[in-house]
Chain A
Amino acid sequence: MDAYGNLVWALARRLSASAADAEDATQEIFLDIWKSAGRYDSTLASEAVFVTTIARRRLIDRLRARKRRPITEEFDEEQVRVGDDGEAGAIAVEVSIASRALAQLGDAQREILLLGIVDGLTHSEIATATGKPLGTVKTQMRRGLIKIRELLGTESPAEGD
């Protein structure tokens, strides 16, 4: 929690409908992380990516279950910074790699990818927000994520033949 508490909280806030929802999600995510800790493989990804993968999976499931869009709102609770300097260092490497990868995408691809992955919009919602056809959104999302995967140096399932 010291290492990734802030990260999980930031993800939960981004993809939850309220402060209470984000708190519930954060607790569920940490339980998922503790249950999954034995499956972590450092040869596949950093701890930060492992944690974020688990968090996104839970948050997407919650969004689908509620069919609710994340809503930005003010958080008035007393907050204290939790975490040590090691957290910033551990996450920075992955951020650097992914930032470079994102910068290599076209503007349209990057926008669609961020709307879908970071803001949690569905393909239909992205189409509405950007004015692009739904088919274009799906294609750009797919191509963008494949590009990111390639730039991060992993193989595609479809390239296994």
Chain B
Amino acid sequence: MPHSRRRLDLLLLERATAGLDTAKAAELERLLALHADVDPDVYERAAAAVCLASLDASEPLPRSLRSKLDTAAASFLASSSGSRR
């Protein structure tokens, strides 16, 4: 197994758990460019599944926050529509 592929695997694992500093993130991008066949999110999806299995998501969204999000969504949609004209 090429060293670069092994290193890529380790960086993807680290990104999925602890995140990467700037230097490692740049190294990851270089390695992903070398190995275009690699799914860059494979471990992040696995970590996401662990979160879903372990998290209590019954906590309701605060009303005030929901209002802010509704406003932000409308603004985002408006700016997205405008940029397509």
Contacts and interface: CB of A to CB of B under 8 A. Distances in A.
Interface of A: 1, 5-7, 9-11, 13-14, 23, 26-27, 30-31, 34, 44-45, 48-50, 52-53, 56-57, 60-61, 63-64, 75, 77-83, 91, 94-95, 97-99, 101-102, 113-114, 116-118, 122-123, 141-142, 145-146, 148-149, 152, 154-158, 160-161
Given A1-B73, A60-B18, A78-B62, A94 B43 contact: no
A32 to B, nearest CB: 11
A154 to B, nearest CB: 5
15 contacts: A10-B58, A45-B48, A50-B48, A61-B19, A64-B19, A98-B50, A101-B50, A102-B53, A114-B54, A117-B47, A123-B17, A152-B45, A157-B42, A160-B35, A161-B5
B76 A152 contact: no
Interface of B is mostly: helix
A55 B56 CA distance: 15
Given A53-B44, A160-B5, A94 B52 contact: yes
B47 to A, nearest CB: 5
A157 B5 contact: yes
Interface residues of B, number: 50
Interface string B4-42: 011011101100111101000000000000010111011
Given A52-B48, A117-B51, A141-B17, 14 more contacts: A7-B55, A34-B73, A56-B47, A75-B62, A94-B49, A99-B53, A114-B50, A117-B50, A123-B17, A141-B13, A157-B39, A157-B42, A161-B1, A161-B2
Contact of B48 (A26, A34, A53): A53
Contacts, number: 192
B12 to A, nearest CB: 6
Interface of A is mostly: helix
A32 B44 CA distance: 16
B39 A27 contact: no
Closest 5 CB pairs of A and B: A98-B53, A52-B48, A98-B49, A60-B19, A81-B60
B32 to A, nearest CB: 9
Contacts of A6: 57-61
A118 B46 CA distance: 12
